[in-house]
Structure 1
Amino acid sequence: MPTIKETLTHAGFDDITSNIYLLLLQKGELTVPQMQKVTGLSRASVYNAITELDKWKLLEHRKEGRNAFYRPSHPNNLDTLAEQKKRDAQLFQNEIKETIESLIGTYNLTFHKPGVRFLEGMDGFKEVLWDSLTAKEEIYTIADLGEAVRIAPEINREYTTQREKLGIRKKILILDDSDANKFLTSIDTPLLQVRRIAKGSCPFKTSLQIYDHKVVYMTLEKQAPVSMIIQDKNIYTLQRFMFEKLWEESK
């Protein structure tokens, strides 16, 4: 069975904080100078320990003149610490699971195995978009470009600049949208071919990119965008075929 000090250490307290807590349990009530005298610690070290113990409600204090007296609160308050550690452990477990899923996707993509990589948020949106800057072939894209420009104008402009520098060609099918048209006018380039999906098409707030045996989906919701890279030769071939048919029918 572990000692009390070992348990406190497992709970996250450093050696000094554990010693101060045990000292107060033994002595009952002490001032900071008295704690210094018994432990030989500096004033700053004692106050750091007091701050940590107070954060977990393991400490009480009272004022008497200019002096502050500290005493331990009831040991039952350690339950609060135990519950927090339990929540932290569960959160860490969830984060590890999400990280493993992401790493599996990255591993599969790196070693050219069929796989899926899933990312969330604007950081994920940018990371997935930037992946297409590694494209070795012309990128095929279907996008609600107007929505993409509205939720991330700077990211889209920066991406376009980088793609131009790398000389990567792109064909893009877009909804006929005023913001999209304005954006495209500002980046007129021979590396980009644009056709518009028939008027009346429903806004889909999504972008699809096809390149290098990859199919990339990005939802265009500013609050919680979701992005996904699928690497599979058969899915890529199907999506590429569907894009080319739709391209032929569009203007």
Structure 2
Amino acid sequence: MGHSPRFPILLKLGLSEGEAEIFELLVEDGVQKARDLVKKSTHGRGNVYNILNSLIVKGLVLEISGTQKQYQAVDPSRLKTLLDKKKEETKRLESEFSESLASLSSLFKLSTGRPTIQVFEGLDGFEQALNDSLSAKTEILTYFDPAAVSGELAEINKRYVAKRRAKETQKRIILPDNQAARDYLGSMAGGFTQIILAKDFADGFLTAMETYDNKVNFLTLDKEKIISVIIEDGNIANLQRAQFEYIWKTEKNRQAASRTSSNATSDSSAM
């Protein structure tokens, strides 16, 4: 029968039952010879040596040289290194999961014929949803009001912009014509970004929208309730893309007409 450790947390930190048993014996009884551990534990001589070597590699047991080798547990606070390792493994798993989820969702959508919807909450979810477009194979089309982006949201967006520029991913943005948007326009000059300020485009809204590939990403900018939703469906994405292009073209034509009118006025004044 296996040994049930007095401190189950040792198993949760990644120790085997044998490692947990030997470590507990060394913590409780102090420096021990291997033969003493054989007598006190549920393991044979060869297995005890294997367990001791494993604990030494993990930095939890010290080997004391002498006429006969003895073994001593390190301070239990060193177990935190196992916790840190678990955290690193969790981060790697989260990263691998995020990378795989998009492909799995696409396969699911193909098999069911239904749109795939992902919901993200909080600041971490906001950043994860925003970063989804970094893998876009098409240009990113965006609406948002810079006046609504401040504090931690602004810091997340700053990191995102740096990553997008590093990937040389193109983005077009429609902004309401307000002071915050004009300031943002000045700070974003170049850098694989085209921006247009749309006259009479409503401002003060607390949602950003991005369209790319066959996805539409809605990101709420309300700091009291941060929720991001990615809808993956070609028809929905195409509708949003068509709406964006209509507003973009309409505003471009309006601005061109305004410049022509201004030039004509200047010419007539000079006559």
TM class by shorter chain equals 0.5 to 0.7
Are the counterparts in 2 of residues 149 and 183 from structure 1 also a CA contact under 8 Å? Answer: no
Residue in structure 2 matched with residue 233 of structure 1 by the alignment? 234
SS of corresponding position for 2:149: helix
Residue in structure 1 matched with residue 145 of structure 2 by the alignment? 144
* Residues in 2 aligned to 1:194 and 1:107: alpha-carbon distance in whole angstroms: 31
Residue in structure 1 matched with residue 180 of structure 2 by the alignment? 179
Task: Find out whether 1:109 has 2:110 as its counterpart.
Answer: no
Whichever residue aligns with residue 174 of structure 1, its letter is L
Whichever residue aligns with residue 109 of structure 1, its letter is S
* Residues in 1 aligned to 2:180 and 2:203: alpha-carbon distance in whole angstroms: 16
SS of corresponding position for 1:208: strand
* Residues in 1 aligned to 2:173 and 2:151: alpha-carbon distance in whole angstroms: 17
Q: Deviations over 1:74-133 (max 9, x none)?
A: xxxxxxxxxxxxxxxxxxxxxxxxxxxx9xx75653426230000100101100110111
* Residues in 2 aligned to 1:167 and 1:107: alpha-carbon distance in whole angstroms: 23
Q: How does 1:35-184 map onto structure 2 within 5 Å?
A: 106=102, 108-111=104-107, 113=109, 114-149=115-150, 152-184=153-185
1:197 shift after superposition: 2.5
* Residues in 1 aligned to 2:212 and 2:170: alpha-carbon distance in whole angstroms: 11
1:152 shift after superposition: 1.5
SS of corresponding position for 1:229: strand
* Residues in 2 aligned to 1:108 and 1:136: alpha-carbon distance in whole angstroms: 18
Whichever residue aligns with residue 220 of structure 1, its letter is L
State the aligned residue count: 162
SS of corresponding position for 1:146: helix
Gaps of 5+ in 1: 1-13, 18-40, 44-101
* Residues in 1 aligned to 2:201 and 2:212: alpha-carbon distance in whole angstroms: 28
Task: Find out whether 1:188 has 2:189 as its counterpart.
Answer: yes
Percent identity, aligned pairs only? 34
Are the counterparts in 1 of residues 134 and 169 from structure 2 also a CA contact under 8 Å? Answer: yes
* Residues in 1 aligned to 2:248 and 2:135: alpha-carbon distance in whole angstroms: 23
Tell me: CA distance 1:112–1:189, structure 2 relative to 1, closer, same or farther (3 Å).
farther
* Residues in 2 aligned to 1:208 and 1:230: alpha-carbon distance in whole angstroms: 11
SS of corresponding position for 1:204: coil
Are the counterparts in 1 of residues 141 and 212 from structure 2 also a CA contact under 8 Å? Answer: yes
Residue in structure 1 matched with residue 247 of structure 2 by the alignment? 246
State the structure with bigger RCO (CA 8 A, min sep 6), 1 or 2: 1
1:172 shift after superposition: 0.5
* Residues in 2 aligned to 1:15 and 1:151: alpha-carbon distance in whole angstroms: 44
TM-score w.r.t. the length of structure 1 is: 0.55
Are the counterparts in 1 of residues 181 and 197 from structure 2 also a CA contact under 8 Å? Answer: no
* Residues in 2 aligned to 1:137 and 1:106: alpha-carbon distance in whole angstroms: 16
Whichever residue aligns with residue 107 of structure 2, its letter is F
Residue in structure 1 matched with residue 64 of structure 2 by the alignment? none
Gaps of 5+ in 2: 8-26, 30-97, 110-114, 253-271
Which has the higher mean CA deviation after the structures are superposed, 219-228 or 126-135? 219-228
* Residues in 1 aligned to 2:107 and 2:136: alpha-carbon distance in whole angstroms: 16
* Residues in 1 aligned to 2:248 and 2:184: alpha-carbon distance in whole angstroms: 21
* Residues in 1 aligned to 2:126 and 2:199: alpha-carbon distance in whole angstroms: 27
Tell me: CA distance 1:230–1:200, structure 2 relative to 1, closer, same or farther (3 Å).
closer
Whichever residue aligns with residue 131 of structure 2, its letter is W
1:174 shift after superposition: 0.9
Tell me: CA distance 1:106–1:192, structure 2 relative to 1, closer, same or farther (3 Å).
closer
Tell me: CA distance 1:192–1:215, structure 2 relative to 1, closer, same or farther (3 Å).
same
Are the counterparts in 2 of residues 150 and 179 from structure 1 also a CA contact under 8 Å? Answer: no
* Residues in 1 aligned to 2:178 and 2:151: alpha-carbon distance in whole angstroms: 11
Are the counterparts in 2 of residues 108 and 115 from structure 1 also a CA contact under 8 Å? Answer: no
Tell me: CA distance 1:211–1:203, structure 2 relative to 1, closer, same or farther (3 Å).
same
